[in-house]
A and B are shown apart, each in its own frame.
Chain A
Amino acid sequence: MHPALQGVMTIAIGVIGCVGYFYFSNLFLDKVLYPAKGPNAGRNINRANQIRPWLFLFPAFFALSLYLAYPVFETLRLSLTERLPGNRYEFVGLENYTKMFAEPKFWESMRNNMLWLFVVPAASTGFGLLAAQLTDRISWGNIAKSLIFMPMAISLVGASVIWKLVYDARPEGTEQIGILNALYIFFSGGEPQTWLTVPFWNNFFLMIVLIWIQTGFAMVILSAALRGIPEETVEAAIVDGANPFQIFFKIKVPQIRNTILVVWTTITIAVLKVFDIVFAMTNGQWETQVLANYMFDKLFRANDWGMGSAAAMIIMLLVTPILVWNVRNARREMR
């Protein structure tokens, strides 16, 4: 069968299956199990209404538990075991962790991840705030916003290709086709650099790709927050003779502090999961390894599930503070 046709058929089956479940399970509940007629009609309606929430919730929470909650614990268990030939697992305690901590590549990933964690959220939020503040004041601001926001739609892999062209290096003496080298040679007259192989600094060249993507996100959220600032506060500041910079930093920024925090943490999470950019651009060579790619390496190249799981647990550990903070915020709001 043609792959496209097969695709269409599977789409139909999947969607019909989903709709069918909800429709027929409700039909079954109302017509067969607790029919709303006969001598017990009232009691039956109540019973049906007690069960219905769970009917509505079941597929979603079954999938959530199986695909996100259970893996957390299973990964924890796997990180304490070693996979033996023949699909057997042996408990090895913390050995995977000690082995991992002894690897220089792991500490390189940790160092780089910390760099990413600091630089990317800071730069994205900073640029986002700048773009939000500036575009809000001009007539063509919406078009500008739309264009700065656009990288959000581009895949990390696509973004990697885009930026690889920017960083491209040709041998000395030939025409440079990467804009960075062309500018570098034009202004400094030096030799073309292969930017992605310069240890330490190449991390920043990779980070730029994510900053480029995340700035649009930060800008959109912060621009909405800036618009939500009560005008009286700004007007009062102008009357008191504050200059635009004072208005921005002393009046506006403090009022949107919470939003900045939310943007910062959201980008932090995106950073912790960053995989595609490093995988596509350097694959962790030249000291650019990060945790997510280190884990993928252990998992599918070295085929070491124990150490791969241990690396995943480290990522989970780094996310946990944000997770706790989010849950507490959500619970406070619900009260």
Chain B
Amino acid sequence: MDNIAGQKSTLTWVVHISVAALVVLWMFPTVGLFVSSFRTTDQISTGGWWKALFPAEQNLTIRTAAPDTQVNIDGMFVIEGTLFEEGFDASVSSWGISSRDINAFVPGESAELRRGGTITVDAAGNYRMENTEEFSGSRGQRVFVTATTPPEFTLDNYNKILFSGSPSENMGTAFVSTLTVTIPATIIPILIAAFAAYALAWMEFPGRPLLIAFVVGLLVVPLQLALIPLLKLHLGIGIGKGYLGVWLAHTGFGLPLAIYLLRNYMVGLPRDIIENARVDGATDFQIFTKIILPLSFPALASFAIFQFLWTWNDLLVAKVFLIDATGQTTVMTNRIVEMLGTRGGNWEILATAGFVSMAVPLLVFFAMQKYLVRGLLAGSVK
């Protein structure tokens, strides 16, 4: 429409650039974490992730093989090997054996070891330690190398986080518990709310406007208020902390939005269909299950996405109603917060754990964006 005014070219150009800038700004932090989750500890700590796509010069600290691998060749005790793992295509530009002077030698030079003997490192990272006496001690020599390494990405972090990591790193069980929390906490409120929404939309009974106002009011009640009384209640009636408690809590907290969204949608369904069914002798239960539910699918899907994202991403409710002192059950968000506390600097662990927890919501988001947008519009523009 702006081209009517004849200013199209320059302005559209500015618009394209601004939108591109906005998108880059919005994507940049997420991409950063995503890229970091495919990098090793050393790579992360030696350079920003934005350099990950280019060869990087890194400072690495590597130990040679332990003295018990030494072989005796003609009276010389020799330890040989390579500093880099197989398939790791790096070239050494300088190296050292003291943390105070890590660039002391160029590849090919030999260094005197403090406890006797010499060590030689070549450009490809192969080393050879020689000594006239036997190497002692249980650990290998520390070597500091400055090496140019090609961009390299690894799936090790994911393997560690999901399957093989130590209990403090593993997210596998937390993933399953999150799923266990989420699925009933999504399905149960939908079922309950759908019936109530139908009653509020299409059934005649005294006090209906008042109940609708009640639901609208509860939409904004902060769930912080519910924490203490409900925890007290759960402990009092013996539910305690556990899955049952967290499902009930999520159901209660999700209901106002569910009822509100579904009622607004159902009210808009054509009156004729419902009245014809009534005339034909269908009961309300039949009308509901055979006509209303199938027709309300878009609204049900919208709310299901909301509730799923909200319960999957929740930390507070799980912390209060699910996680007890034994730490038997936990959810991913809580594991990540714990990791932030204990492993604040281990970005490869944090980034991977973060992405493991984000993968499912992002998938749902991109697959069902249409319904999400529709639900947002129905829930807010009123």
A residues near B (Cβ < 8 Å) are 3-4, 6-7, 10-11, 14-15, 18-19, 22, 26, 30, 49-50, 52-54, 56-57, 59-61, 63-64, 66-72, 74-75, 78, 127, 130-131, 134-135, 137-138, 140-141, 144, 146-158, 160-166, 168, 170, 175-179, 182, 212, 215, 217, 220-221, 224-225, 231, 234-235, 238, 241, 243-244, 259, 262-263, 266, 269, 272-273, 275-276, 279-281, 292, 295-296, 299-300, 305, 308-309, 312-313, 315-316, 319, 322-323, 326-327, 329-331, 333-334
Contact = CB atoms under 8 A, between A and B. Distances in A.
B255 interface: yes
B48 A179 contact: yes
A4 B175 CA distance: 10
Contacts of B285: 22, 26, 30, 52
A286 B108 CA distance: 51
A78 B229 contact: yes
Interface in B287-317: 288, 309, 312-316
Interface centre among B198, B309, B382 (most CB of A within 10 A): B382
A148 B61 CA distance: 40
Given A18-B192, A165-B347, A269-B220, A61 B211 contact: yes
Contacts of A63: 192, 248, 251-252, 255
A327 B220 CA distance: 10
Contacts of B381: 221, 224-225, 259, 262
The 8 A-B pairs with the shortest beta carbon distances in the complex, nearest first, are A67-B252, A155-B313, A7-B180, A60-B196, A153-B365, A74-B229, A56-B199, A71-B226
Interface centre among B214, B216, B248, B353 (most CB of A within 10 A): B216
Contacts of A141: 19
B377 A166 contact: no
B104 interface: no
B220 A333 contact: no
B77 interface: no
9 contacts: A56-B284, A63-B251, A68-B218, A68-B226, A71-B230, A153-B361, A155-B333, A157-B337, A225-B381
B28 interface: yes
Contacts, number: 345
Report whether over half of chain B's contact residues are helix, strand or loop; otherwise say mixed. Answer: helix
Contacts of B269: none
Given A49-B284, A75-B228, A315-B225, A14 B30 contact: no
A151 B26 contact: yes
Interface centre among B50, B224, B284, B337 (most CB of A within 10 A): B224
Given A54-B205, A316-B225, A151 B30 contact: yes
The size bracket of the interface on B is 35 or more
A71 B234 CA distance: 12
Given A152-B365, A162-B32, A67 B340 contact: no
B110 interface: no
A152 to B, nearest CB: 7
A270 B220 CA distance: 9
Contacts of B18: 134
A152 B364 CA distance: 12
B221 A148 contact: no
Contacts of B362: 150, 153-154
A232 B219 CA distance: 37
A60 B195 contact: yes
Interface string B167-188: 0000001001101100110011
B139 to A, nearest CB: 25
B106 interface: no
A165 B376 contact: no
Given A30-B283, A179-B48, 20 more contacts: A3-B173, A7-B243, A56-B198, A63-B252, A131-B19, A137-B15, A150-B366, A153-B365, A157-B315, A158-B313, A158-B333, A165-B347, A177-B45, A220-B373, A221-B376, A221-B377, A262-B380, A281-B340, A300-B319, A312-B224
A212 B357 CA distance: 19
